[in-house]
Amino acid sequence: MRTKFIVFLLSTLFVLSGTAAAHKCGMEVAHQNRIKAAANPKGFAAKRIQFARAPRDCEASDYYDSVYTRESEHFQIFYTLGEGPHATIPAFIDSLVVALEEAFYFHTKTMGMRTPMGIDTTNHYQKPVKKGLYPIEVAEIDFLRDPYYVVGGLACNGCYGVTYPDTTDHNKSAIIIDNDFRYVPTLGQRETSLVKDGKTCYYPVSSEVQYNHADGFSYVDDWAKAIRVTAFHELYHAVQLRYVSLFDHWIPWIEASATANEEIGVPDINDYVFYVPYFFSKIDLVPLYMLDSLAKYGESTLYLYLYKNVDKHFDRDIWERFAKTPDLSFEENLEKLLKAKNLSADSVFHDFATRLAFSGERSKDVDKKFWVWDDQPKWGTPRIRSGLNYNTYSKEDDFYAGKDRSNINRFEPDTTQYMFRYYKDGEPDLENYKGRASVLLFKGNTTEICRIANTATIDSINRLTFTADSILWVFSSFSNPKPIPEIVKDSTLRAFPVPWRGSGMLCFTPLPDTKKFIEIRTSRGELVMREPYTKTTHCISEERIKEKMKPGVYRFRAGASGKLEKFLVVY
């Protein structure tokens, strides 16, 4: 039976298609559309009915002439030439064959993943697929025979390609590659037409050009590169479907791992770089499993780190675990994988976060051996929060709202599970903190990376920070965050930094829990202040020190009796 083609009326398309989703994978768009349909099934059905009644008497086959096929060792490619929205050129197919076979070998042989399985009949051109070959259709993704079946909506608006599973067996799938790497814009759309058997058939014009923003070129002009990166990405989705039904178990790792495979398989194109800043903008606000929009593609940086530092085949193990326990999260599976290798997930994640801090401009501050990946200078700079200046926080990110602003130089790192954060300067209050921590000390052309193993480390770091040009604190939390161990190597009361030079906090440690206050006196024994404390380390703000103490020698002790310890104030 011949199916009536759903034609795009301009007014309808404007209402239904939403914001253009350039630089997105078609599978991700299909997932989002399915969520919307599930949330409003009546509205979804009404849109399909409204669209099917569009007053145009043209069918899907009216928009193309002969359908050609090209067979390679593992693929059968279906395409059309000539005119119309789906037409391509032979050279496009030549390039596609090479890229697909490259990707197939990489995913299944080099990486050892399962072999993709194809459906029996293609969706758009409605052609039978030769047994043992995987089907690829080349067509205009924004004007498919049944867009709801393939992308869950009317259009993909900026997708390079789309992988879609069989409705009854998720193991089987097919891929559609966009024929020209142009897409139909959401705003300012135009129509054109062709005449077929005496009928005028209208269709939308794909006028928006896809770009590689990392290296600044058009994929319309350099479509061979777009083909290569799309082949590696979409075929990886076909591989993933061999393990689990992706739409039933959707997680950000689906797109993150496919995007990373682009970079590893085709390292000269760097399309993934476009997404990394989106990842930076989200990861200190939401955990890994909540990454949305373009941020999930930027999680590919974690894949690249694990590929380089843990095991090149780690993701094969992740997907084999998904196949056995599809409801288990990526983070839980990763923790189990690392534990099997005698690695701590919290330590690995913190090392990733620390190395990621040297992105963009900061990449020059360390040897490139410490980078996550060779492209790290292109990644932009992660969000850096200030541990000093109250006014640098936006309203929604303000950690100091309602707190004592005289103590503004100390901050409380607030990292929930599966997140990391960076703070510039200041001194962390780690009493309630659970997770891993490091500090990066920048001085001249040198960078020192100090892991915070316990509170004794903090004491020594606090002395080092006063000689550094700038500092950056790294906090991360993964699956089993624990408090920073409290270790006091020296039971002798001491002040730090000594001498105090007029900026930052003046701190006293280790303070006994049997006392309630610090007593500070001048060198002549005159009482300067009694400062209440509740923790083993207590700090006094810069403003209060300058208010109470002139430059000179002072002494302090815990309580009102006992030996007085000397410290120096210079400013």
CATH of the domain at 511: 2.60.40.3080
For the chain, residues with pLDDT lower than 50 are 1-21, 46-55, 390-408, 488
Residue 328 lies in a domain: no
Residue 424 CA to residue 414 CA, distance in Å, equals 14
Q: 121 is written with which tokens?
A: 């009949």
Question: What pLDDT was estimated at residue 455?
Answer: 66
Neighbours of 515 (CB within 10 A): 16
Same domain, 426 and 563: no
Same domain, 51 and 181: yes
Q: How buried is residue 431: exposed, middle or buried, by Cβ count under 10 Å (0-12/13-18/19+)?
A: middle
Question: What pLDDT was estimated at residue 298?
Answer: 97
Question: What pLDDT was estimated at residue 462?
Answer: 65
- Tell me if 235 sits within 8 A of 266, measured CB to CB: no
**Nearest partner of 477 among 260, 288, 257, judged by Cα:** 288
**Nearest partner of 207 among 157, 154, 162, judged by Cα:** 157
Residue 345 lies in a domain: no
Residue 544 lies in a domain: yes
Last residue of a domain, one of 209, 224, 250: 250
Same domain, 110 and 213: yes
Same domain, 38 and 185: yes
| Full residue range of the structural domain in which residue 551 is found | 494-569
Same domain, 446 and 558: no
Residue 336 lies in a domain: no
Q: 404 is written with which tokens?
A: 């004592």
Angular region, 425: left φ>0, alpha ψ -120 to 50, beta rest: left
Question: What pLDDT was estimated at residue 390?
Answer: 41
- Residue 435 has, within 13 A of its CA and on its CB side, a CA count of 27
Question: What pLDDT was estimated at residue 172?
Answer: 98
Same domain, 168 and 128: yes
Question: What pLDDT was estimated at residue 11?
Answer: 30
Same domain, 141 and 233: yes
Question: What pLDDT was estimated at residue 401?
Answer: 38
Q: Are strands 75-80 and 134-139 parallel, antiparallel or unpaired?
A: parallel
Same domain, 427 and 564: no
Question: What pLDDT was estimated at residue 365?
Answer: 94
CA angle 518/430/453 to nearest 5° reads 110
Question: What pLDDT was estimated at residue 39?
Answer: 77
pTM to 2 decimal places: 0.80
Residue 22 lies in a domain: yes
Number of domains in the chain: 3
Same domain, 7 and 108: yes
Residue 425 lies in a domain: yes
Residue 281 lies in a domain: no
Question: What pLDDT was estimated at residue 239?
Answer: 98
Same domain, 241 and 142: yes
Angular region, 315: left φ>0, alpha ψ -120 to 50, beta rest: alpha
Same domain, 193 and 78: yes
Max CA distance (Å), the chain: 108
Same domain, 68 and 120: yes
Question: What pLDDT was estimated at residue 470?
Answer: 86
